[in-house]
Amino acid sequence: MGSAITGEQQSIQILRLPAVCQVTGLSRSMIYQLEAERGSPSRVRIATRAVGWIEGKVQSWLAERVSRSRDERASALRAGPEAIVPQR
């Protein structure tokens, strides 16, 4: 008769900025720039002067970036060597 709690509600983990930088390999400024461009997960306010990012959303965003990168690389390989752009 109690209320059911979904798995997502039980396991929400908040990452602070240093952890997001470590997990993504991106700098602080790049994380904020991507967020402003709507290219990455948005931060959530967790206190008056504290924000964080939901770990699951960060992980999903990373997985999407990896998948997209691999798809683009595979498409370039199928198109031929002249279509491959050198990686930085």
pLDDT at 81 > cutoff 90: no
Tell me, what's the pLDDT at 76? 73
pLDDT at 83 > cutoff 60: no
What is the DSSP-derived secondary structure letter of residue 47?
Answer: E
pLDDT tens-digit readout, 34-70: 999 999 999 999 999 999 999 999 999 999 999 988 8
Q: What ranges do the domains of the chain cover?
A: 13-80
* Single pTM value for the model: 0.71
Quote the Cα angle for 40-31-18, to 5°: 120
Which residue would you say has higher pLDDT here, 26 or 11? 26
* Per-residue tokens: 2: 């109690």
Burial 2-16 (b: 16+ CB within 10 A, else e): eeeeeeeeeeeeebe
